[in-house]
Amino acid sequence: MVGSKPKRAHNHGVIMSGADMTLQVLADEGVDTIFGYSGGAILPTYDAIFRYNENHPDKPIELIVPANEQGAGFMAAGYARSTGKVGVFMVTSGPGATNSATPIRDCMADSVPVVLICGQVARAVIGTDAFQEAPVYSLMSPCAKHVFLVKDPAQLAATIRTAFQIAKSGRPGPVVIDIPKDVQNWEGPYDSESVLQLHGYGDRVNEIKQKRMPVETARDFLRMLKRSKKPLLYVGGGAVISNASEEIRKFMKLYQVPAVTTLMGIGAVDTTDELCLHMLGMHGTAYANYAVDDCDFLIAIGARFDDRVAGVPRAFAPRALIAHIDIDPAEIGKVKPVDWQYVGDAALALRDLMEAGKSIEMNHQPWLKEVCAMKKRHRLNFNRDSEVIQPQAVLELLNTYTKGEAIIVSGVGQHQMFCAQYFDFKHPRTWISSGSMGTMGFGLPAAVGAQVANPGKLVIDVDGDGSIRMNIGELETCTTYNLPVKVLLLNNYGDGMVVQWQTLYYNGRFSGTDKSLRTKDFVKTAEADGFKFSKSVSSYEDLKPAMEAFLKFQGPAFLEVITDKHAFVYPMVGPGMPYKDMLTGPYIESRDTGPASEILDTSDSF
C-alpha cells in the first residue's frame, strides 16, 4: 500500500553511510540488477555496491555498465517492461543526469516503472555552477512521475523506499532521486521502516486499487453490450501494465467480442486468436481500422485515444457508443467523449463485469462473420515478387521460428511498425518498444535489459540502420556480459519512415535521410565489439540459412539484412485523416473495391 509502513527489515538502527543505506533499501526492495555509469558525484554509492556484493556473495546485486547513461535508462526500461518490476539505473551528476532525461521521459510516456538514482554535488555548492552540476529537480520534474532532492540525510532511506512505491503504484512511471554527495557520505542509524507520508496520493491510489465496481454500474455497461450488434474491444498498454491479459481473453470468449490493440497493447491479446484483429491506428491493419469504423460499441481498456490512433477524434469510431476503463481519471474523456466510464484497475473491473453478466446470453455471430471476412479480404501483404529482400518477408520468416514465444524488442522507424504487423505475440510483455516518445536508439539497450531480466528466453532486437546508430555502443555491453541477445538489423540505407513521409507529403525532397553515402560497416562493428556471429545477407537465397544459424548460435549474434529502400509501411492513415481515407498501398485490398459482406462465408465461425 502506498504510504503504509513496510515490515521491519534487518539492520534497523545500524550506523551506516548514506551510500550504504541506499544499497540496503534497494536490497530490501528486491532489486537484483542496477544499470549505470559511475562518476564523481555518485562514487560513494558505487563503492557501496562493491562492498555490498563483497558482503553478500550469495545474493549480490548485479551491476551492468553501459556505454552511455541513456543506454542505462533504456536497459532499466527493458527490464521493467518485460517483467513488470521496477527497473533501477544509477548515474552521476551533470551530464550523467542530462543523458538520462530521454529515457525518463520515454518511461513516463509509456507508464514504465523505473527509479533513477542521480549523484549531485554537495548541498553547500548547489546553485553555484559547481563542476558537473545540473538542475536535476527542475530538469526532470516535467518528465517524471515524481522527483526527490534529498536534503535531509535522515530521510534518505524513507525517500528511496517511497520512490519505489510511487513508481509501481497507480499508473506506473519513473521516479528520480537526486542525492548530494555529502548526503551519500553522511553517517547515521539506518531506518528500515519509514516511508514518506504522501497522504493525498496514497489515499487516492489505494482507493482506486481496492475499489470494486458497483452492481448498477456493471448493469449499465451490460445493457449497452447486449443492445450492441457490433461491439469491439480497444485494448491499450494499460491492459498489459495492469496484468489484465487473462481477464481480457476471458471477456472476449465469454461475450464473443473481437479486439483491436494499440502498439503498446500488443500481447495483451493472443495475436493468433481468431478474435484478435491486431493493431489499429496509423499503421494498423486495414481490417482493424475498418472494424473501428463499423463498430457500434467501442470498449476502451487502458487506452489513451492518442493521435496515432484517433488522429481525428470526432471521426474515430463514428458510429459507436464509447465505454472507457482506466486507472487514471485524467484519461477519461480527455480526447473523446464517453458514454460509460469506470476509473479503476482493469483486471478487477473486467472480473466484476463478467461476474455481473455471467447469466446473460449475447449473440454477436453476424458481426463475427463480418469481421472474419474483413480479416481475409484486407489481410496484410507486400511485394512478394521482388528480387530485392522485403523487410516484411524477413520478419515473416523469423516469425515462423519464434512462433509468438520470443521477446521482440524494436528500435523506432519502419522496422518497428513491420514488427507490430508481422510478428505473433502469444503473451503479454513479449513486445517491447518505445511507443509515445518513439525514441530512436531504444531497441538495443532495451533488449539488453530484457535479456538480463529473462536469462532463459530468446530476446531479439529488431533494429534499423538509423535507429541502431543512436546507441550502437551497447553492442559491446552484450559481449561484455555474454548476453545472448540476437540483433537483427534491417538496413535500407536511410531513415525509412521519414523517407516514406518525404515521398508522400514532401514531393520526394529527401532532406537529411539518405544514408547511402555513410561508410559504416555494421558487420565489422559487431565483430570489433566481440560478436562471434556477425553476418550480412542481401539475397533471398542466403536469407533462410543465415536466419537459422543466427537463431541457433549460442551467445550474442548479429545479422544484417539489406532490404528494399522503397518498401513502405502500409496501411497508413495520413496525418489529420480519418480511417475511411486510409492508404492501403498496392498490395493490400481496400474497401474501395466493394464491401466485405460480398464475400461473407457462412461456414466461418469463431
Residues annotated as catalytic are 69, 131-132, 181, 497
Dihedral of CA atoms 215, 216, 217, 221 in degrees, nearest 10, equals 100
Contacts of 37 by beta carbon, 8 Å cutoff, 6+ apart: 65, 66, 68, 69, 72, 91, 92, 96
Got the DSSP string for 109-164?
HTT--EEEEEEE--GGGTTTT-TT---HHHHHTTTSSEEEE---GGGHHHHHHHHH
What's the CA gap between 314 and 325, in Å, rounded? 20
Q: Is the backbone peptide bond immediately before 571 cis, with ω within 30 degrees of 0? A: yes
What's the CA gap between 207 and 225, in Å, rounded? 27
Q: How far is CA 490 from the centre of its chain?
A: 21
What's the CA gap between 395 and 408, in Å, rounded? 11
What's the CA gap between 371 and 292, in Å, rounded? 11
> Residue 377 corresponds to which amino acid?
R
* Residues 125 and 141: beta-carbon distance below 8 Å: no
Q: How far is CA 453 from the centre of its chain?
A: 15
Got the DSSP string for 430-473?
-EE---SS--TT-HHHHHHHHHHH-TTS-EEEEEEHHHHHHTGG
Q: Which of 403, 463, 402, 401 is nearest to 432 (CA)?
A: 463
* Residues 428 and 240: beta-carbon distance below 8 Å: yes
Three-class SS of residue 278? strand
Q: State residue 16 phi and psi, 5-degree precision.
A: -140, 160
* Residues 583 and 568: beta-carbon distance below 8 Å: no
What's the CA gap between 379 and 396, in Å, rounded? 14
